[in-house]
Amino acid sequence: MEWIDLRSDTVTHPTPEMRQAMAEAEVGDDVFGDDPTVLRLEALAAERMGKAAAVFVASGTMGNLAAVLSYCQRGDEIILGDMSHTYLYEAGGVSALGGVHTRSIPNQADGTLRLDDLRAAIRADDEHYPISRMILLENTHNGTGGTVLSTEYMKSVSDIASEHGLKLHLDGARIFNAAAALGIPASALAEPADSVTFCLSKGLCAPVGSLLCGTEEFIQGARRARKQLGGGMRQAGILAAAGIVALESMVDRLKQDHDRARNLAEGLQALPAISIEQNPPPTNMFYMNLEPDAGVTTHDLIERLEKDGIKLTARYGYRMRLVTHYWIDDAAIERTIDGFARAVTAL
């Protein structure tokens, strides 16, 4: 039985073209700065984000942490959403490893932070307070179902940051999904930010890695932070080769994943005991809820669907996230809807 894996777009496998590129990659020693394939990937990433430079890192989590360490001293404060990936899912690294205080404010249903909340969160110049140093946004926003922050919103936050002498970092793990949803280049979303990370290993289908992009000076500091975090890699061109293929061949097809997420959400919404939080889904993911009186939790539902070869993951007792990607085709969408229909009917 062929599995349908909707747990995340991180489960994507490299394409045959990526595997061939990895096998044939020209490599050097990235710590010495002479791996030609890594250098090519970093130049391509910087160009795609409209930034001066980039550094290849092991993960988006490492990229975000390296950005914070580059901007902040111990005891400084960053402002971010209470449903942001950095706040919830990066093991408290900014505090544990950077000594940086986090000030969280509520994410709205569309993934934004209210501008008035942002202004109110910026500390006054008082010795009792930590120093507000940076704002961190996320686009698309995972916790609110792949919602998209607009260029207008990004510019508004950038203006606030500039007014108060703060840096703006964008966790753009899925920035190419956001750009595809808006029909604009990713660089337009990255432009208002001082720095941006994006992942190769999600919808772009590469096996490993993310890029952190910004000014030349910032990236110099980020390379030092990467080293401190244990992220100096040697013949990393083998991984970078897949990333180059990802940027050159996977970006333009992301809208297909969005369309399939919408078809899946529409099919599931028609079933009893199921509600979709963002319908239609804005990008390639959405959250669904089982009605509390359905008699089972999402864990029970997952066990039943596994028998049909469908992999899902639960978020709390009645909530789960479903994510489409390159390896989910139209047949997989239909099979998933049929599997849910059988499982829900059996409740």
pLDDT tens digit sequence for 293-320: 777 788 888 999 999 999 999 877 789 9
Q: Looking at domain 253-345, what is its CATH homologous superfamily?
A: Aspartate Aminotransferase, domain 1 (3.90.1150.10)
Residues ≥6 apart with Cβ < 8 Å to 87: 80, 81, 102, 104
For CATH 3.90.1150.10, the residue range(s) in the chain are 253-345
Q: What per-residue confidence (pLDDT) applies to 1?
A: 73
Other CB atoms within a 10 A radius of the CB of residue 280 amount to 14
Q: In DSSP terms, which residues pair with 285 in a beta bridge?
A: 323
Interval 161-174: pLDDT, tens: 999 999 999 999 99
pLDDT band at 107 (very low <50, low <70, confident <90, very high): very high
Could you read off the pLDDT of 184-217 as tens digits, one per residue? 999 999 999 999 999 999 999 999 999 999 999 9
Reported as a single tens digit per residue, the pLDDT across 232-249 is 999 999 999 999 999 999
Share of the chain above pLDDT 70, in %: 99
**Helix, strand, coil shares of the chain as percentages rounded to 5?**
45, 20, 35
Whether pLDDT at 346 is above 90: no
Task: Note the pTM of the prediction, 2 decimals.
Answer: 0.96
Closest CA to 89 of 119, 53, 64: 64
Where are the domain boundaries for CATH 3.40.640.10 in the chain? Answer: 10-249
pLDDT band with cut points at 50, 70 and 90 for residue 94: very high
Strand locations in 68-215 (E): 77-81, 101-105, 132-138, 167-171, 195-199, 210-214
Q: What CATH class has 10-249?
A: alpha beta
Q: What does the pLDDT look like over 83-93, one tens digit per residue?
A: 999 999 999 99
* pLDDT > 80? residue 274: yes
